[in-house]
């Protein structure tokens, strides 16, 4: 199994919405993906609940599980995922990714 972890810092305002509003939209969009993409075994999305402005603090995290690297690649290129990525690119200022085998 491969785990795909992504963390983001969101812009304070983007697409006419606040950071909190965009975080909720991202959460919904990301949580809907397993029902649309068979290769996703699971997707867990978290919104940071602690206040802070430290450089290391991110606003959101996504953890995805796939059976294989091939399945992860199918997910990455899937049209439904690409629609979500299009929105995310508009509202985030930073992104970090880790992929590991469990």
The string of pLDDT tens digits covering residues 27-72 is: 999 999 999 999 999 999 999 998 776 778 999 999 999 999 999 9
The string of pLDDT tens digits covering residues 8-34 is: 999 999 999 999 999 999 999 999 999
pTM (2 d.p.): 0.92
| Burial profile 41-62: b = 16 or more Cβ within 10 angstroms, e = fewer | eebebeebeeeeeeeeebbbeb
What is the tally of structural domains in the chain?
1
Q: Which domain holds residue 33?
A: 2-101
> Which CATH number do you get for residue 6?
3.30.70.100
């Amino acid at each position: 199994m491969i785990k795909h972890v992504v963390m983001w810092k969101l812009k304070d305002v983007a697409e006419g919405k606040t950071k909190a509003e965009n975080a909720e939209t991202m959460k919904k969009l990301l949580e809907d993906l397993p029902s649309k993409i068979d290769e996703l075994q699971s997707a867990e999305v978290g919104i940071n609940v602690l206040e802070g402005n430290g450089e290391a603090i991110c606003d959101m995290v996504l953890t995805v599980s796939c059976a294989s690297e091939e399945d992860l690649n199918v997910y990455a290129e899937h049209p439904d995922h690409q629609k979500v990525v299009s929105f995310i690119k508009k509202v985030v200022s930073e992104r970090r990714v880790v992929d590991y085998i469990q």
